[in-house]
Structure 1
Amino acid sequence: MTGIMQEKLGRLKACLEEIGSAAVAFSGGVDSTFLLKVAHDVLGERVMAFTAGSSFVPERDIAEARAFCEREGIRHIVKRFDVLSIDGIRQNPQDRCYRCKYALFHQFRSMAEEHHLAAVVDGTNLDDDGDYRPGRKALKELGIRSPLHEAGLGKQEIRGLSRELGLPTWDKPSFACLASRFVYGEELTGEKLRQVNDAEEVLLRRGFRQFRVRRHGDLARIELLPEDISRFLSEDLRAEVTERFRRIGFSYVTLDLLGYRSGSMNETMEEKA
């Protein structure tokens, strides 16, 4: 661990000590797992994990979050949300993330008060400054703290520190909510979300780790890491994936030649701006 990383870890612990007690918004991903582990080390029984379960979240993520909290002895609540009933969400507007985060974290804040916890904290870090993230506005309005960001930690530092702590998520691929796979303005339904989830499960089972399946109507656009593209293009695998996607409900299956990149659905917004 470098001196700079040690210093930032110290800042993070000091921030958590200052908060005193907290509910960690816990998705089971790299950032929230690291935050929860450090928070539990610092605050002990004065910390809880809150996980949002919904049609936007694969059930495998909920199961992994439960298993981690059980292993670590951390109090954990999975709160189920009907996200498609939140005003405006089904229409998938450009501020969808704001609307969703506001509703979920408003509930988390009430839950924290019921458990006499001083604050709700989330895993936002410095690297989240570089993309269109309307959900950050909701967190600010609700007074949600982001200790990783306050400590000046970026994603690679969080991965490095997670490895030092022996966390299984240190090299876990990043996966945003399933709604991020849709073009803004395309109606979101439970069936469409299930289809995207099932399509990504197909790729997971074939050994791909970092990818996205973006939905454009009845067309699936697959984003893979550049080094995985040649393997995907082998005739047998390509044919198998195409057949499985069509069974799931997609009429067309395409491969994005630019490869995987976070937030690619925001690129058209930038072009129109």
Structure 2
Amino acid sequence: MTDPLTAALSGAEARAEERVTALLRGCAPLGVAFSGGVDSSVLLALALRALGRDKVVAVLGVSPSLASDERAGAHRVAAHLGARLVEVETAEGELPAYRANGPDRCFHCKNELFTRISESVAAAHGLAAVAYGENADDVLRPDRPGSRAATLHAVLRPLADAGIDKAQVRRIARALALPCADKPAAPCLASRIPHFEEVTPAKLAQVEQAEHALRALGFGDGRVRHHGEVARVELPVEDLARAAGPLREPLLAAVRGAGFRMVALDLAGIQSGAFTLPLVEVRPGETPRAEVRAAQAPSAQAAGAEARAAEVPSVQAARTNVPTTEAPRAGEVTTRD
């Protein structure tokens, strides 16, 4: 069995590790915001290799938006690495701006997580710094506002700063024999609820139950989008025939069992950023700057988006790691995660 803390990396992956190690120099003890996904798992592994097991703590945020399967998976990965893992309960569901579910929802969620880490975990474990698993591809996406919360809390992003993209993250994960090396992306459950429709524990529980049922039927990747009484099921294109054929009846029964009255199979397959990307626009020459198309939402909802946008600092500050109180223009949400 490969020991992920002693396995040798070679070529480009070895050079990438050297860059991460240099970035983490002087950052011990380090807290790693950890989900069990491949990005945060690779960051945790590289941090353990650079600093040692006694100088790194994995921190898992727990709330109704985290599926129980994901929580258990995170514990398995941490145990595989021999890493200390602490859980911190987050209360983003109590925040009106989070429940309102604008395109900046992830900002409020990450801000809550990093606030809880700062207020409890950092002192308890004497942390000198906190890092999270943003990679170089994430930097280029216009639909990831959680990154800006990281900036406000001075959270490090070693993978992105080392130029490590998603493909290289997976190559490193495979070289270190991490159990999550080929794990599909698993955004939080709230991402299944259309923007401007309230995020509630009941909806999150419905989505979790339905997606657990998909996995039980043998679908390794999938999303259940919550459209009120309708569940829109997204699966890899290669799984659509199986879902509409021999597994149609059990899939229908399983998703209905989660409380949905109707079940639709999306022929487009899995769509990352399905709800957020239609609401943002990247302007030529700007990387990335985005605005909410408020005209697509009812006027009251658009006004709410404007108010929430004023709470989010400018993208230039996010790129320079200098917090600012400058607010975006009305109707605009700049995003980077």
Alignment of 1:256 onto 2:253: no
Q: Structure 1 stretch 47-56 or stretch 221-230: which is displaced more?
A: 221-230
- Equivalent pair of 2:111/2:149 in contact (CA under 8 Å): yes
Alignment of 1:23 onto 2:34: no
Alignment of 1:82 onto 2:96: no
CA separation in 2, counterparts of 1:133 and 1:71?
29
CA separation in 1, counterparts of 2:168 and 2:123?
32
What SS does the corresponding residue of 1:36 show, helix, strand or coil?
helix
Alignment of 1:204 onto 2:215: yes
Q: 1:136 matched to which residue of 2?
A: 147
Q: 1:97 matched to which residue of 2?
A: 106
- Equivalent pair of 1:183/1:265 in contact (CA under 8 Å): yes
Q: Which runs of 5+ in 1 are unaligned?
A: none
Q: 2:158 matched to which residue of 1?
A: 147
- Please point out which of 3, 6, 16 is paired with 2:14: 6
Alignment of 1:160 onto 2:171: yes
Alignment of 1:94-243 (within 5 A): 94-110=103-119, 111-128=121-138, 129-234=140-245, 236-243=246-253
1:164 is displaced (CA, Å) by 0.5
Q: 1:268 matched to which residue of 2?
A: 278
- Equivalent pair of 1:11/1:151 in contact (CA under 8 Å): yes
- Equivalent pair of 2:59/2:87 in contact (CA under 8 Å): yes
Q: Structure 1 stretch 210-219 or stretch 137-146: which is displaced more?
A: 210-219
CA separation in 2, counterparts of 1:5 and 1:147?
14
Q: Which amino acid aligns with 1:114?
A: A
Q: 1:41 matched to which residue of 2?
A: 49
- Equivalent pair of 2:32/2:131 in contact (CA under 8 Å): yes
1:70 is displaced (CA, Å) by 3.1
Q: Structure 1 stretch 42-51 or stretch 77-86: which is displaced more?
A: 77-86
Alignment of 1:66 onto 2:84: no
- Equivalent pair of 1:219/1:251 in contact (CA under 8 Å): yes
- % identity of equivalent residues: 38
1:2 is displaced (CA, Å) by 6.1
Q: Which runs of 5+ in 2 are unaligned?
A: 1-8, 282-291, 294-337
CA separation in 1, counterparts of 2:224 and 2:137?
22
CA separation in 1, counterparts of 2:237 and 2:133?
28
1:29 is displaced (CA, Å) by 0.6
What SS does the corresponding residue of 1:248 show, helix, strand or coil?
coil
1:268 is displaced (CA, Å) by 3.0
CA separation in 1, counterparts of 2:90 and 2:102?
19
Q: Which structure has the highest helix share of the two?
A: 1
1:138 is displaced (CA, Å) by 0.9
Q: Structure 1 stretch 49-58 or stretch 17-26: which is displaced more?
A: 17-26
1:215 is displaced (CA, Å) by 0.9
1:99 is displaced (CA, Å) by 1.0
CA separation in 1, counterparts of 2:24 and 2:90?
28
Alignment of 1:52 onto 2:61: yes
CA separation in 1, counterparts of 2:277 and 2:35?
25
Q: Which amino acid aligns with 1:193?
A: L
